[in-house]
Amino acid sequence: AAGLALTERGALVVNEHQQTSDPLVYAVGDSVQVRDTVTGSPIVVPLAGPANRQGRVAADHMVRGTGRSARYSSTQGTSVVKVFEMTAGATGATERTLQAAGREYAKVYLHPNGHASYYPGTAPMHMKVVFDPQDGTVLGAQVAGYDGVDKRIDVFAMAIRAGMTVEDLEEVELAYAPPYGSAKDPVNMAGFQAANLLRGDLDLWYAEEWPALPDGSVLLDVRSPR
Residue-level pLDDT at 28 = 98
User: 36, 28 in Cβ contact below 8 A?
Assistant: no
Residues in Cβ contact with 213 at an 8 Å cutoff, skipping those fewer than 6 apart? 205, 219
Exposure string of 71-94, with b = 16+ CB inside 10 Å and e = fewer, is ebebbbbbeeeeeeeebbbbbbbb
Q: Where are the alpha helices (DSSP H) in the chain?
A: 48-64, 95-101, 149-161, 166-171, 186-198
pLDDT, residue 69, reads 75
pTM: 0.93
Q: Alpha helix (H) ranges present in 103-185?
A: 149-161, 166-171
What pLDDT is recorded for position 109?
98
Q: Looking at residue 120, what is its pLDDT? A: 96
Q: What is the pLDDT of residue 66?
A: 67
**Per-residue pLDDT reduced to its tens digit, 41-85:** 999 999 999 999 999 999 999 998 766 778 999 999 999 999 999
**pLDDT confidence of residue 64:** 83
Nearest residue to 107 via CA among 122, 116, 97: 97
Residues comprising the chain, all counted: 226
The average confidence (pLDDT) of the chain is 95
Q: What percent of the chain has pLDDT over 90?
A: 94
Is residue 138 pLDDT above 90, yes or no? yes
Q: What is the pLDDT of residues 81-132, one digit of tens each?
A: 999 999 999 999 999 999 999 999 999 999 999 999 999 999 999 999 999 9
Burial label for 155, CB within 10 Å (0-12, 13-18, 19+), is: buried
pLDDT at 70: 87
For residues 70 and 17, the answer to whether their CB atoms sit within 8 Å is yes
